Amino acid sequence: MLQPLFPDCLWSLEQELRHDQPGGGPKQVALTFDDGPHPQYTPELLSVLRHYDVKASFFCLGACVEYFPEVCRALYDQGHWIGLHGYDHRGFHRLSAETLKESLEKTQTAIARACGLDPIDAKTQMRDVRPPNGLFTPATLSLLHQWDYRPVMWSVVPEDWVRPGVTVVVHRVMQQVQRGSLIVLHDGYWGGQDVAGIADQIISLLLKQGYEFVLVEEFWRLKKSRFRH
């Protein structure tokens, strides 16, 4: 419902890949994870991703990065895309502009330290932002664009954080997924207990259906390419 009102956010490429290319376009989806890194759940998830040779996009909390820098470094070293989820999961719409800017910059700094990156390079690379709980206002988005961040949302949300069970979450994803879907799951304290099992089944099923997993960055590239035409 909100997607048409906020087209500058990255929600998915479902319409673009379905209508703009012969045969419906490539069967690409982006697999994303929020609220990590976690010292147990994220490494378990990484093991699954390595098994299938799949790359994913992780929206990290700055506080968790500071607590578990070695896990964040593993994300980076294994070629996954890292974005920002704020420092401590407070809703962006409740923060002043100054506090929001500080939250994002502290998260960038934590990621840079964990991954051994130059802080300036981190600010250039770590521009993708997902608001906690997906909550934002037009004013929030205006600030993010002003500061040169890229807001990323989702199109497939199976509510795994309430832990309805692996089978239920997998069923919800498979019911909703299509070309260009942007799937959100959680590898943090809420929902992360099941994330490795969920990812294992989802990846296996989607690969059998001919899907390819791409990073959020690839979706941005395709989105920009479409608007140039």
Q: Which of 210, 15, 56 is nearest to 7 (CA)?
A: 15
Q: What would the two tokens of residue 45 be? A: 């998830």
Active site residue 38: no
DSSP sequence for 8-46: TSB--SHHHHHHSSGGG---EEEEEEES---TTHHHHHH
* Cross-strand bridge partners of residue 34: 59, 186
- C-beta atoms surrounding 89 within 10 Å: 18
Q: List the one residue out of 52, 3, 51, 21 whose CA is nearest residue 179.
A: 21
The answer to whether 34 is a known catalytic residue is yes
Map tokens 């929020």 to a residue.
34
Residues 6+ apart with CB under 8 A from 27: 179, 209, 210, 211, 212
Strands 128-129 and 150-151: parallel
Q: Among the options 186, 187, 194, 200, which is catalytic? A: 186
Q: Which H or E element spans position 199?
A: helix 195-208
Catalytic residue among 34, 35, 194, 200: 34
Q: Residue 67: which residues within 8 A CB-CB, separation 6 or more?
A: 39
Catalytic center residues: 34, 186
